Structure 1
Amino acid sequence: MRVVYTDAAWSLDDNGQVDPSRAVIEREVFGPDVELDFGLHDGRFLLDGPEFHRHVRGASALVIYRCQVTRELLDAVGPSLKVIARSGVGVDNLNAPLLEQAGIAGFNIPDYCGDEVSTHTLALLLALERNVCTQDRLVKGDRWSVHAGGLPRRLAVRTAGIVGFGRIGRATARKLRAFYDRVVAYDPYVPADLMAAHGVARADDLAELFGAADAVVVHAALTAESDRLIGADALAHARPGTLLVNTARGRLVDVAAVLDGLERGRLGGFASDVFSPEDPNDDPVARKLLERDDVVVSAHRAFLSAESERSVRRRVAQGVAAALHDSSSKRDRTTS
């Protein structure tokens, strides 16, 4: 059996080259009977096209990170494919309907990095609140000034809002309550009683949330329903100077609407760990955001810690191994 890790960032050495010897956890889980293979990388991982499709042909399992599951990918691998694992929380690139139609198992790891993402969310938000990044740039540029970057506001009298109240939204709520006077959340699939158990008030819609909050953090799942959820309509209800932070998925937020909100003063700052496309330098609108002092960004690493990386790697490998074993057992029963 052959397992292909299409775009495992942990497999890259310090020179940006794929190093199979790094797969210590994976080899421990799979044992000697499973062949491990890794993605094609030349500055970036190759995730589509003829060369990539030749590389994955005949795999028993795929482990994907940013790679998109498409009909072309499934056809390229062929009938040997039994399972696809998403090495992460999101399912937007796993394409569950297609996998179900093809009879291929698929899974993600939804709960391995709640502490990391919620902490990163607070780090970005507090950097905006206290103008930390602006001060850092100015002082390092020999422009020392106490008041540069504007006057911060007192958080103990402010309200924070959360869009999406799943595992990570709830972890973030607990941390927000240490800084803000009040926390409200919008999630049409979570009842007010559950939010109340976490000390959070429920908003019935985005208009109510943005109308109440001084800062809003985004933790929603990306689905067809939530694509560009935070756009011009939602931001029209924001209080002047509202801060917005996205550590979920890039396509949840319309960056053109964010740029307009910043230019008009509707938003007081924006921080994001995620963009679509992945690197904001590849998008002309996002590049304009990068030029602004009221924007703070990171490179889709909110999930990252030594502990979370070890955990997700082991749990993915264990899930793939179990799926392959189950598939093999079914085949043996059928042929016996």
Structure 2
Amino acid sequence: MRVVYTDPAWAVDVGGELDPALAKIEREIYGEDIEIGLGIRRDGRFLIDGAEFEDHVAGADALVVYRARVTQRLLDAVGPSCRVVARQGVGLDNLNAELLRAQGLWGFHVPDYCGDEVSTHTLALALALERGVCVQDQLVRNRAWNIHAGRIPRRTAGLTAGIVGFGRIGRATSRKLHAFYGRVVAYDPNVATDLMASHGVCPCASPAELFAVSDVIVLHPELTAETDRLVDRALLRSCKPGALLVNTARGRLVDLPAVLEALRDGCLGGFASDVFSPEDPNDDEIGRELLCRPDVIVTAHRAFLSAESEISLRQRVAAGVRHVLREGQPPPAGRVA
């Protein structure tokens, strides 16, 4: 049997090349009777479409995707041998659960492996904006010592933090926000207000209400048709002047041109993001303009990352795939089809 990992970031060595020796965790779990394919890299990036990629995945018994999108063309390229598709991460936006169901394939992700890491990264970005950490770091390094340069910090104990999306990660973030902010509110139409109350969080009836009362807004919803470009010009017009916006969920939750406009006119006081669409903001004109601004902080889609979370994710994905291939049974957890 053969399992193809379409774009495994963990299999890339310090020189940017694929190293099969890095698949030690997977080999220990799969054993000798399951072959592992580790994708194709060109010019420092994984190929996730095109003829060469399709030839590589052909005949696989299982696919493990990271950023690659599950499409009809991909499944056609793999062929009838495929029995399961796993997402090496949180979220279903590129797993295409509806298509997998239609094709009669099992699919799963791992929705709970990095809650501590993402919530901590969210706080790190929010507090870095609050305290002007990145601006000050660059000024001091450039021999421009100036205590008051950049954003003048606010006393966070008197401020309100708002969370959009109160699932596993939103709840973990709320616990940490309470240590720094005087009040925490949340919006999630799928979560009961009683549950929010049990976390000491006040519910908001709409995103506009949350934006109107929050001094810092953090985004944790799933990317769906309803949340795609949720943060647009209309919503940003409702926000509290000078509010900070932090996105560690999905790049397409925000309309970047609207965010840039809100930063320019002072509606937003700062923007921090770990995620973009396209993935690297350097590949987008608006993204490049945002990178030039001192009121913007970015990281390279690594909020999930720790040594512990990466090991756990790889083990759980491999164990789930092995279970389907060897037992002929659905994956034990994170099942979506």
Amino acid at match of 1:3: V
1-side partners of 2:62 and 2:124: how far apart? 37
Instruction: Give unmatched runs, 5+ long, in structure 1.
Output: 330-336
Alignment of 1:67-106 (within 5 A): 67-106=68-107
SS in 1 for 2:111: coil
Amino acid at match of 1:273: D
1:38 maps to which residue?
38
Instruction: Report the Cα offset of residue 151 of structure 1.
Output: 1.3
Alignment of 1:6-155 (within 5 A): 6-42=6-42, 43-155=44-156
Instruction: Report the Cα offset of residue 328 of structure 1.
Output: 8.4
1:278 maps to which residue?
279
Moved beyond 2 Å, runs of 4+: 326-329
Q: 1:92 to 1:276 in 2, by over 3 A?
A: same
1:298 maps to which residue?
299
The normalised TM-score by structure 1 is 0.97
Instruction: Report the Cα offset of residue 165 of structure 1.
Output: 0.2
Amino acid at match of 1:305: S
* Number of residue pairs the alignment of both structures matches: 329
SS in 2 for 1:23: helix
2-side partners of 1:38 and 1:145: how far apart? 49
1-side partners of 2:238 and 2:191: how far apart? 22
Question: Over residues 105-141 of structure 1, what are the superposed CA-to-partner deviations in whole Å (9 max), with x where a residue is unaligned?
Answer: 1000000000000000000000000000000000000
2-side partners of 1:58 and 1:305: how far apart? 33
The normalised TM-score by structure 2 is 0.97
1:168 maps to which residue?
169
SS in 1 for 2:176: helix
1-side partners of 2:39 and 2:103: how far apart? 23
Amino acid at match of 1:77: V
Amino acid at match of 2:176: K
Alignment of 1:182-261 (within 5 A): 182-261=183-262
Amino acid at match of 1:31: G
Instruction: Report the Cα offset of residue 191 of structure 1.
Output: 1.2
Q: Between the two proteins, what is the percent identity of the paired residues?
A: 64
Amino acid at match of 2:31: G
Backbone CA RMSD of aligned residues: 0.9
Amino acid at match of 2:237: A
2-side partners of 1:152 and 1:15: how far apart? 40
CA contact (8 A) 2:158 2:182 kept: yes
Instruction: Report the Cα offset of residue 310 of structure 1.
Output: 0.1
CA contact (8 A) 2:58 2:78 kept: yes
2-side partners of 1:41 and 1:137: how far apart? 34
Amino acid at match of 2:139: L
SS in 2 for 1:24: helix
SS in 1 for 2:86: strand
Amino acid at match of 1:185: A
1-side partners of 2:192 and 2:84: how far apart? 34
2-side partners of 1:183 and 1:16: how far apart? 42
Instruction: Report the Cα offset of residue 150 of structure 1.
Output: 3.0
Question: Over residues 83-102 of structure 1, what are the superposed CA-to-partner deviations in whole Å (9 max), with x where a residue is unaligned?
Answer: 00000001100000000000
2-side partners of 1:207 and 1:99: how far apart? 35
Instruction: Give unmatched runs, 5+ long, in structure 2.
Output: 331-337
Question: Over residues 4-48 of structure 1, what are the superposed CA-to-partner deviations in whole Å (9 max), with x where a residue is unaligned?
Answer: 011000001111110111111101110000011110012100000
1:333 maps to which residue?
none
Say which is worse superposed, 165-174 or 147-156, in terms of deviation: 147-156
